[in-house]
Amino acid sequence: MKLHEISKSFGPVKANSNINLTVDRGEILGLLGENGAGKTTLMNILTGLYKPDSGKILIDNQLREFHNPREANKNGVGMVHQHFMLVPVFSVTENIILGEEPTKRFNKIDLENAKNKVLKISSEYKLDVDPDQIIEKLPVGIQQRVEIIKILFRDAEILIFDEPTAVLTPQEVVEFFEIIKNLKKTGKAIIFITHKLHEVLEICDRINVLRRGKIVGEEYPKKTDKKKLAELMVGRTVNLRTSRKKMEQGEVLLEVNGLSILSDNKEYVLSNVDLKLHKNEILGIAGVQGNGQTELVEALTGLRSVSSGKISYFGKEYKNFSPRKIHQLGVRHIPEDRQKQGLIGEFSLTENSILNTYYEEEFSYNITLNWTNAKIEAKKIIEKFDVRTNSENISANKLSGGNQQKLLIGREMSRSINLLIASQPTRGVDVGSIEYIHNQIVFARNKGIGVILNSTELEEIIALSDRIIVLFEGKVIAEFPSDTDPNIIGLAMAGEN
């Protein structure tokens, strides 16, 4: 497959300019680039979601033009989006055949036949799934397999993965790599987008780097390293390790005693959790996703009611507090899912910039909003956190994924702050911005703020934390100092002491 001189602009933004790119059968092409470089846009052009302003798509040396993803699908181009597009209440098979339902007589859906085809594909490419399971009951890694089967079901020859590993646990990433190696063996062409440099080095045959809508370099994993790639991506040297000098623990800012939460189906998702957070301290919460981290953070920020236990901020116990109350104490929360909680997609950047401060004096007088100040605030965040956009008036869902994250972090970190609760703060963010965000977090901690860092990236936890606790099945099963061997922490995350 070959892309020739593709260009695409959104108003004044040149998302892609004169891009040339090729992928061969049996090849894995890595696509790197900073946030907003135009990776997703390029892939959306390839799959027919957007029409390029100019340029050609050649497949097997034939000129192709797709008007919609379905047409692209039919012609062997399939994409797994970062945000899955599955119907939660449908079964695996139903999701896979959606839109392409095989039928029997009288238009009845031929589920048996479909199921057999699904099973065939899943054994052929070693994609283990149970075709009868309901999607919402499956972990993310398996849902992703369903997405892959979905495009293989439509006979895809070119497979595109947009940040597939961002939401996977380390174990799932290993399995995912096995899968794409298998796909490669059967002669598929694969395009793999990620922000994690070690991943491209590990799995790709060739790497293309995009910057500001242009291809700025082609590299081969054997002849390059992380540092070079990072430089190529952002156009300057990137410090991949955050420096952090040791600091004395200060007074206790947050104390949690015996915290338990009963889920809707009467199971303990959190049981008897104790923790303390001090001034000048970053407390890392390690754990495989789904072991109670989300619930813990929600409880601390007033989004979830607790069954028993005590939560004290700054030496005072709070019961049945609301998110606003907590916010007013100077506790800032970066939620793990930017699109579900942190931002309102259809709101403009300006509107999003004041999401939890709109009622404060600076932004409103009685009930009248002060849009002038809100705009200033938005511009400040955009400038300081390098959110790539040409205007603060566009809606947040028009930003690239990583830029949405930067907007969110900028909003939470640019105002007066006493304590930070950050969940997956660098999910989907490029190396340059990770460096900046990490530095900001460390800087905040040096100024005397306490930080709770909840991340599924063990590397991130180890790089930043002064102290690490491990959550397993809703319990704190271990606590480590910052210089612990990652393997030991990894074992604890798997539930072994």
Partner 1 sequence: MKIFNYFGNYFSNRETFQEIIVIPVFATLLAIFLGLLLLIVSGSSNEIALKALIALFYGSFGSISSISETLTAATPLIFAALGIAVGFKAGLFNIGAEGQIILGGMAAVIIGFSFQLPFFIHLILILLVGALFGALYAFISGWLKATTGAHEVITTIMLNLIAYRLLDFFLRIPSIQKEGRNDPISKSILDTAELPRILYFLDPNLRVHMGFLIAIFAVLIVYWLIFYTTIGYEFRAVGKNLEASRYSGISPSMTIILAMSIAGLLAGLAGASQIAGVLGRATPGFSAGIGFDAIAVALLGRAHPIGVLFAGILFGALIAGGRQMQVSADVSLDLITVIQALIIIFIAAPVLIRKLFPWIFR
* Interaction site with ligand ATP (CB under 6 A): 10, 13, 15, 33, 35-41, 388-389, 398-403
The strand ranges marked E within 373-440 are: 419-423
The one among 64, 221, 347, 386 contacting partner 1 by CB under 8 A: 347
Contact 156, 76 (CB under 8 A): yes
The dihedral built from the CA positions of residue 403, 408, 411 and 417, taken in this order, carries a sign that is negative
Identify which range of 37-45, 46-54, 70-78, 229-237 contacts Mg ion by CB under 5 A: 37-45
d(CA 472, CA 475): 5
63 is in the binding site of which of Mg ion, partner 1, ligand ATP, none (Cβ under 5 to 8 A by kind)?
none
Nearest residue (CB) to ligand ATP, 15 versus 173 = 15
The least CB distance from residue 386 to ligand ATP, in Å, is 12
**Secondary structure of residue 326 in the 3-state scheme:** helix
69 is in the binding site of which of Mg ion, ligand ATP, partner 1, none (Cβ under 5 to 8 A by kind)?
none
The least CB distance from residue 340 to partner 1, in Å, is 5
48 is in the binding site of which of Mg ion, ligand ATP, partner 1, none (Cβ under 5 to 8 A by kind)?
none
- 318 lies in the site for partner 1, by CB under 8 A: no
Q: How far is CA 307 from CA 120, 264, 290, 304, 319, in A?
A: 47, 11, 19, 10, 11
Q: How far is CA 211 from CA 32, 36, 403, in A?
A: 9, 8, 14
Identify which range of 109-117, 257-265, 380-388, 392-400 contacts Mg ion by CB under 5 A: 392-400
- 40 lies in the site for Mg ion, by CB under 5 A: yes
Which residue stretches of 286-395 are H helix? 293-300, 323-328, 349-353, 371-384
Instruction: Please report, as residue ranges, which positions from 384 to 423 form the binding site for partner 1 (by CB under 8 A).
Output: 393
The dihedral built from the CA positions of residue 116, 118, 122 and 125, taken in this order, carries a sign that is positive
d(CA 331, CA 492): 29
The least CB distance from residue 422 to partner 1, in Å, is 14
The least CB distance from residue 241 to ligand ATP, in Å, is 22
- 246 lies in the site for partner 1, by CB under 8 A: no
- 368 lies in the site for partner 1, by CB under 8 A: yes
Nearest residue (CB) to ligand ATP, 45 versus 173 = 45
- 283 lies in the site for partner 1, by CB under 8 A: no
Binding mask 326-345 for partner 1 (x = CB under 8 A): -x-----x-x----xxxxxx
DSSP secondary-structure letter at 341? I
- 403 lies in the site for Mg ion, by CB under 5 A: no
Q: How many CA atoms lie within 13 A of 437 on its CB side?
A: 30
The least CB distance from residue 466 to ligand ATP, in Å, is 30
13 is in the binding site of which of ligand ATP, partner 1, Mg ion, none (Cβ under 5 to 8 A by kind)?
ligand ATP
d(CA 411, CA 277): 23
Q: How far is CA 259 from CA 225, 274, 275, 306, 321, in A?
A: 45, 7, 9, 7, 15
The least CB distance from residue 349 to Mg ion, in Å, is 17
**Secondary structure of residue 117 in the 3-state scheme:** helix
Question: ∠ CA 197-489-413 to the nearest 5 degrees?
Answer: 60
Identify which range of 16-24, 30-38, 134-142, 352-360 contacts partner 1 by CB under 8 A: 352-360
- 91 lies in the site for Mg ion, by CB under 5 A: no
